[in-house]
Amino acid sequence: MAKAIPTREEDYSLWYNELVKKAELAENSSVRGCMVIKPYGFSIWEKMQSILDRMFKDTGHENAYFPLLVPKSLFEAEEKNAEGFAKECAVVTHHRLKTSSGDKSKLVVDDGAKLEEELIIRPTSEAVIWNTYKGWVQSYRDLPLLINQWANVMRWEMRTRLFLRTAEFLWQEGHTAHTTEQEAIAETKQMLEVYADFAENYLAIPVLKGVKTENERFAGAVDTYCIEALMQDGKALQAGTSHFLGQNFAKAFDVKFTSQQGKLEHVWGTSWGVSTRLMGALIMAHSDDQGLVLPPKMAPIQVVIVPIFKGDEQLAILDSKVAEITKLLRDKGITVKYDNRKTHKPGWKFAEYELKGVPIRMAIGPRDLENNVVELARRDTKEKKSVAIEGIANYVSELLEEIQSNIYYKAKAFQEAHITKVDSMEEFKDVLENKTGFVSAHWDGTTETELKIKELTKATIRCIPLDNVQEEGQCILTGKPSKERVIFAKAY
Amino acid sequence: MAKAIPTREEDYSLWYNELVKKAELAENSSVRGCMVIKPYGFSIWEKMQSILDRMFKDTGHENAYFPLLVPKSLFEAEEKNAEGFAKECAVVTHHRLKTSSGDKSKLVVDDGAKLEEELIIRPTSEAVIWNTYKGWVQSYRDLPLLINQWANVMRWEMRTRLFLRTAEFLWQEGHTAHTTEQEAIAETKQMLEVYADFAENYLAIPVLKGVKTENERFAGAVDTYCIEALMQDGKALQAGTSHFLGQNFAKAFDVKFTSQQGKLEHVWGTSWGVSTRLMGALIMAHSDDQGLVLPPKMAPIQVVIVPIFKGDEQLAILDSKVAEITKLLRDKGITVKYDNRKTHKPGWKFAEYELKGVPIRMAIGPRDLENNVVELARRDTKEKKSVAIEGIANYVSELLEEIQSNIYYKAKAFQEAHITKVDSMEEFKDVLENKTGFVSAHWDGTTETELKIKELTKATIRCIPLDNVQEEGQCILTGKPSKERVIFAKAY
């Protein structure tokens, strides 16, 4: 098989990279750190977009679009935010090229077209959006603003990996403004729940919900809520964040409203986002050494039908039977692809759709037809079974649901088996090295200790779980008193 | 009325700008030439996107995503294309900011982070996409590539206008690759038909289909096909283009395939696009002095219901009747908004939804309820009529269809009345000045004459219509022989 990929055991990192490329999800481009999302990969992202977009609209949000470029002076306005992103900014300095005087086939930057003020390609849009909100908000009647944007953003990362960390990525960023602190906090939490719901019920990825420590907080936020997923190599992946911004951006951009009582007050803000990084999570959470394993709700093709035939006459008979079956499946809302190409053998097709993670493969040959059956193969468990054509649509529909939940429960069992309580640094290191996964430990609450532990072990605090059990204990590093455990892990 | 806009008669250009702002479609941003698309405007763009996306997929295309930035050396590869866009390029030269040594609250460009090679923000993606296709195509089996991208692009325009000409705009760009010239030409024409179908049957804008002259051709294309629409001020607007690229980009980026006969050949290409400019066309083609007029198929809200009431008791009764009506309408797939806010008077609401172009306004008060009727007001003709609640859903559904076709036929009649045949420069100038619109005239086929006419009259050749009548004539400027008329107009 030309398309075989390394096993996870051999080299997890290479397995992931090769899988992304061989399954035609994405590839590196000619621009450092920027990827090309290929049609098959993009069709999965489109499914993510359409489901999330529906969830955002169902919770009262509208889409809008704000400029790609941010003037440097605006970007500076919220100091912590600016400081957090300054080192990763792509900067536009000129607005014209001209023909090189030396070589007429070459273009050079036209020094006569230098911008008076440099423009930053948005690493995130708080600055440009809050500057706009200033003009939209006068009275409490103008609030809340519940707006989302689907966009590309750019962060000049030094070490990049397809989907997981790229200089340019696609994402959605919600930006809301409210009259009260409570309402903004409720919005922040609501969007965290939306993300958790999406991760668990669509991506089939169980997540821990929690709050970030000060050190891991979004630059400019008062609180950052997050969902943390666990990959098969035992490393954590931050899958979505929802920030309570307090009045930080309202103050930086002077966004005020007249309250019902006639008082002039700063508004309260939130922002929240998920990105094409979720593609990386989806791939790494479920896939195996044969390729992608897609939960049916995220699969661009849910059922692929492969005819087994010799000669045109057999194929014609199968074509007509498959047309009937296809109609029955599509009437149930199932996405079906019939691959009756003669240029490729069934074995090649089997491997190809396995690599691409199609949840159900249906094979049908002349003998199956005689017996009024088809052969169904599940991608997740690789089980094969002969199933009667009669009632096939119901059977497949239920099987898809079963696959969706099986993939989730498999990941859930893995996650549960990989949350380990430890009470000493020795145990902590041992679990990180040998067992991997989330480690639940006491911590003294200081950034100093957090950074020291990171330095010693490469593990970071992923989150302080919501509704965390309060329990007396001692920090694993300093022995100082602690009131609750927090979740550590090595992370993507 | 705080929100009144100037009339078209008074100042067409100001009317347009004020309409775009007051109807909350878009506004200027803090970045020169870049706009903010507001939620109401964006919801119309989302409708455009979803309809077009369906049409592209129905014709076999898939979506993908390519990088925002193009290395200068790649951009140079197709010389004509590079030359055509070089003067409008936003150039990224650095990848980091640092704190100013003078003022710690300021950021400055970090000279230590100068890029080895400058990166251009895509003005269009042929360069980056054809450079990628090189890796995707080996054999005729890999073709055709039928790919579309929804993206933001940037062209540093000197004079900008909301939607019509902005430095950053949103668009879709299709990029296809084929084994034969005929197949690529057929694709180019097919996509032109898709655009024409969309313009006429959804936007309700009649268009002329044609081919551009060499002078107006897309930089790098062999032929540019276009649809041209006519605005109410008699100026033309290019609403979509579809380019036959020949082998130009295949040669520039060395994209070759092995044919069925085993020969190595360059592939044939097309590209085609429409942008947020269509928003400008939609607004200018139909709207009036009271505001937007939206064809029902493009209206985010198709029916707005306004209760006429005194006191909570009356409102409660109306609320419950409207709930019934709303359900009936929604079951027919009609988009309904019920505006029962007590903070605004009915008169204010009437003006507001008129401004926003909602096709049907339904008013209902206690007396209507007694008589089992509602009052319907059409946005397009401003007719009002009392209509029985019984059978209301069917009535509204048919009325929406009638409004859609009425808006189209009104624009069609205007277009037909504004295509004028002329046979002399005198007539040509007279029509351009006084009657305006499309002018059909003979031209000697040279770029020199075309540019001279533009210099004298500001009119450009919009297109050579498809299936143009062949007729002997003389160029209106030079008197030289001509075999067909072409369409001139002043244009946006």
CATH of domain B296-414: 3.40.50.800
Burial (CB < 10 A; 0-12, 13-18, 19+), residue A171, is middle
Contact B64, B147 (CB under 8 A): yes
Round to the nearest angstrom and report the end-to-end CA distance of chain B: 31
The helix or strand, by DSSP H or E, that contains position A402, with its residue range, turns out to be helix A392-417
Query: Is there a contact between A29 and B66 if contact means CB atoms under 8 Å apart?
Result: yes
Provide the pLDDT confidence category of residue B1 given band limits of 50, 70 and 90.
Answer: very low
C-alpha to C-alpha distance for B87 and B74, rounded to whole angstroms: 16
Question: Tokens in use for A31?
Answer: 């621009």
In chain A, which residues have their Cβ closer than 8 Å to the Cβ of B106? 76
- How far apart, in whole angstroms, are the C-alpha atoms of residue B441 and residue B488? 7
pLDDT in tens, B164-206: 999 999 999 999 999 999 999 999 999 999 999 999 999 999 9
pLDDT of B314-327, one tens digit each?
A: 999 999 999 999 99
Partner-chain contact A31 B72, CB within 8 Å: no
Dihedral pair phi/psi, residue B284, rounded to 5°: -75, -25
Q: Which fold has domain B24-67+126-286?
A: BirA Bifunctional Protein; domain 2 (3.30.930)
Residue B55 confidence (pLDDT): 98
pLDDT in the model for residue A1: 45
Averaged over B399-403, what is the pLDDT?
98
Q: Where exactly are the structural domains of chain A?
A: 12-94+108-286, 296-406, 419-489
Burial label for A158, CB within 10 Å (0-12, 13-18, 19+), is exposed
**pLDDT tens digit string along B328-355?**
999 999 999 999 999 899 999 999 999 9
Q: Residue type at A68?
A: L
pLDDT digits (tens, 9 = 90+) for A389-423: 999 999 999 999 999 999 999 999 999 999 999 99
Percent of chain B exceeding pLDDT 70 equals 99
Q: Note whether B64 contacts A37, CB cutoff 8 Å.
A: yes
**Phi, psi angle pair for A443, to nearest 5°:** -145, 145
Query: Following DSSP, what letter does each residue of A353-388 receive, concatenated?
Result: HHHTT-SEEEEE-HHHHHTTEEEEEETTT--EEEEE
Verify whether the Cβ–Cβ distance B46 to A63 is below 8 Å: yes
- pLDDT digits over A196-216, tens only? 999 999 999 999 999 999 999
Does the predicted TM-score (pTM) go above 0.90?
Answer: yes
Contacts of B107 in chain A (CB under 8 A): 72, 75-76, 82, 86
Q: State the average pLDDT for chain A.
A: 97
Question: At the top level of CATH, which class does the domain A296-406 belong to?
Answer: alpha beta
Rounded to the nearest 5 percent, the helix, strand and coil shares of chain B are 40, 30, 30
Cα–Cα distance measured from residue B305 to residue B204, given in angstroms and rounded to the nearest whole number = 24
Q: Which chain A residues contact residue B45 at CB under 8 A?
A: 65
For residue A263, what pLDDT is reported? Answer: 97
Q: What is the CA radius of gyration of chain B?
A: 26
Residue range B224-228: average pLDDT? 98
pLDDT in tens, A247-274: 999 999 999 999 999 999 999 999 999 9
Contact list, A118 vs chain B (CB under 8 Å): 109
Whether residue A182 contacts residue A261, with contact meaning beta carbons closer than 8 Å, is answered with no
Tell me the pLDDT tens digit for each residue of B409-462.
999 999 999 999 999 999 999 999 999 999 999 999 999 999 999 999 999 999
Distance from CA of A444 to the nearest CA of B (A): 32
Q: What is the residue whose two structure tokens read 């919005």?
A: A187
> pLDDT tens for residues B101-160?
888 889 999 999 999 999 999 999 999 999 999 999 999 999 999 999 999 999 998 899
Q: Would you say domain A12-94+108-286 falls under CATH 3.30.930.10?
A: yes
CATH topology of domain B419-489: Translation Initiation Factor IF3 (3.30.110)
In this prediction, residue B2 carries a pLDDT of: 52
User: What are phi and psi for residue B287, nearest 5 degrees?
Assistant: -75, 165
List the one residue out of A47, A69, A37, A67 whose CA is nearest residue B149.
A37
Over range A289-314, report the average pLDDT.
97
State the pLDDT at residue B304. Answer: 98
Asked if B89 and A76 come within 8 Å (Cβ–Cβ), the reply is no
A163: pLDDT strictly greater than 70: yes
> Which residue of A27, A91, A152 is in closest CB contact with B152?
A152
Give A86-148 as a DSSP string. GGG--EEEES-EEE-SS-TT-EEE-GGGEEEEEEEEPSSSHHHHHHHHHHH-SBGGG--EEEE
Q: Do B67 and A168 touch (CB under 8 A)?
A: yes
Q: pLDDT confidence of A105, banded at 50, 70, 90? A: confident
b (16+ CB within 10 A) / e for A75-93: bbbbeebbebbbbbbbbbb
CB contact under 8 A, A76 and B38: no
Q: Give B305→chain A minimum CA distance, Å.
A: 20
Token pair belonging to A54: 């529906």
A152 vs B68, B75, B95: nearest CB:
B68
Of the candidates B376, B310, B374, B368, the residue with the CA atom closest to the CA atom of residue B342: B310
pLDDT band of A479, cuts 50, 70, 90: very high
pLDDT digits (tens, 9 = 90+) for A306-354: 999 999 999 999 999 999 999 999 999 999 999 999 989 999 999 999 9
ipTM of model: 0.96
